[in-house]
Structure 1
Amino acid sequence: MTNLYIAQGEDAVGRSEDMVITTILGSCISICLWDPVAGVGGMNHLLLPEMHQAGSLSTSGAVAMDRLINRMMPLGAVRPRLRGKLFGGSSMLQGRTDIGARNAAFGQAYLKTEGIPCDAENVGGTRARKLRFFPATGVAQLKFVEEAPRLKTPKVMPSNDVELF
């Protein structure tokens, strides 16, 4: 079995029956795409798919999705036949900005806007996920990891008259 691990910002595609793509997701999302006729699939690992940069909105998630689809096409995938699966988007930092929800909302909106049916979705919550995707068959396996630790507010230490420089 060929096991390809992908990290944030990476993707992998394939059509070999002995290939599995794996990743671990917290607030990030993975979108798995599969063409059931060609037996070709791919998966990415996205964090902050829409970022504000210098007053404009960067659509890095859409660029990553286009890259994934474009990598699948030479292997025989046809865009109108693509099926999707969406995973991740946990709230890993309790009491902080919910980046996971924003990531999941991007994945849902992207699939809907592009007309790609979403066959499976497991997003949200507070636990990380280990994801395995078999690109030749479109099968995804998900296993939850421990619950995210809750952040504690640090104690404020009494100050003194010492100035550090």
Structure 2
Amino acid sequence: MRGSLADRLGHRIHVVQGEQHVTDDAETVLITLLGSCVAACMRDPLAGIGGMNHFLLPGGRSQNFDTQAQRHAVHAMELLVNALLSRGARRERLECKLFGGARLIDGLTDIGRQNADFAEGFLAAEGIRHVGGSLRGEHGRKIQFWPVSGRARQSLMERENLQVFDAERRIRPVAPPESDGAVELF
């Protein structure tokens, strides 16, 4: 046998709502559970570095996002991009897979669609290649992402098993810090 099960699985890091993680360790797998939230799995294939975030737009009053709601999601995406750039990634080489954005509760505003639309729009506006993933639908997802290779695995969750997302429904996204107008460029 070639080592223990833990050795063969590598390092497992769980990324929860409001967090992001970046690594250049080829043995690391980033894991998250998604309902209406979105995870961006981003990497620079030449630098051999990648990461994942997990975010949820706050609110959900209408299909038109208000500026405050978008600030939360922009903040989450910028944290991931900046963490990659600070570790040697180059913006022009970044590629991203997007997952999540499910509609889990019938009859309410489709916050999952808003999250998915925002993530796709952010990548387009920033010139980051969208190379795959799985957005929208009616199923929660378990995502595993190997950030160095770019490999991703998705397991869909049945709607009957959605109690795991009860916490997601209660948690409000973390507010971005107040800005003094300073910008840090890499």
Normalised TM-score (structure 1): 0.83
Matched, 1:57 2:67: yes
**2:141 equivalent in structure 1:** 129
Bigger radius of gyration: 1
**Which residue does the alignment assign to 1:23?**
32
Note if contact 2:33-2:142 (Cα within 8 Å) is conserved in structure 1: yes
How many aligned positions are there? 147
Q: Distance in 2 between matches of 1:108 and 1:101?
A: 11
**1:6 is the counterpart of 2:18:** no
Shift of 1:2: 0.7
Flag structure 1 segments of 5+ consecutive residues without an equivalent.
151-165
Match of 1:68 in 2: 80
Match of 1:158 in 2: none
Which amino acid in the other structure matches residue 31 of structure 1?
Answer: A
Identity of aligned residues (%): 39
Q: Which amino acid aligns with 1:3?
A: R
Runs of 4+ in 1 over 6 A off after TM superposition: 49-52
Show the counterpart of 1:104.
116
Partner residue, 1:91: 103
Closer, same or farther: CA 6–81 of 1 in aligned 2, 3 Å: same
Q: Please state which structure has a larger fraction of its residues in strand.
A: 1
Out of 81, 106, 120, the residue aligned to residue 93 of structure 2 is 81
CA separation of 1:48/1:40 partners in 2, compared to 1, >3 Å: closer, same or farther?
A: same
> Scaled by the length of structure 2, what TM-score is found?
0.74
Residues 73-94 of structure 1 show CA distances to partners (whole Å, capped at 9, x for unaligned) of: 2322111110011110000001
